[in-house]
Amino acid sequence: MNSLPYAQETLFFQNQAGKLFYQPAGYVRLAWAAERQPLETIQAFYEQVLALLQRSGVGRILSDHGQRPPLPIAAQEWLTTSWIPRAMSLARTRHCAIVEGADPMHRLSTQSVVSTAPTEFQFKRFDTFTAADAWLRGLALGK
């Protein structure tokens, strides 16, 4: 993988759930930790994602799941009923590229979020960072 996109990023926030970066190509990147996290830690992380989306005005997300374990059911429900609608309303966020995690159970929890989120919120799933990055860069350019 080309490390240049990572080199241009700025770390905005980190906690036990992961690290949050601003990517000058026009999106924010979530780099998830491999350990299972309680709901409160996940919520705190996502609240910082929303703050960065609002501050930067980019409105696009790359969620790099890596070795992240499946999200708890409560976190999935909170994402689809609270966080995503607020991100859409407050930060005009409509696009999320997901770099798939290695755990098959993780992929099922991701599918649960994707299938129950508001239909106006577009998810696209990728096997590599490079493909996800290219899709988001194309959106930024209006392609």
Q: What is the pLDDT of residues 5-49, one digit of tens each?
A: 566 899 999 999 999 999 999 999 999 999 999 999 999 999 999
Q: What is the pLDDT of residues 80-96, one digit of tens each?
A: 999 999 999 999 999 99
Of all residues in the chain, what percent carry a pLDDT higher than 90? 78
The CA distance from 98 to 136, in Å, is: 11
**Single pTM value for the model:** 0.91
**C-beta of residue 91 within 8 angstroms of C-beta of residue 48:** no
Buried residues in 5-32 as b, exposed as e (16+ CB within 10 A):
beeebeebbeeebbbbbbbebbbbbbbb
For the record, the structure tokens of 33 come out as: 């930790």
Q: What range defines the domain where residue 61 resides?
A: 4-140
Instruction: Give the count of domains, the chain.
Output: 1
What's the CATH number where 40 sits? 3.30.750.24
Task: Tell me which DSSP letter residue 54 carries.
Answer: H
Residue 108: pLDDT over 60: yes
Closest C-alpha among 27, 49, 51 to residue 132: 27
The CA distance from 5 to 37, in Å, is: 27
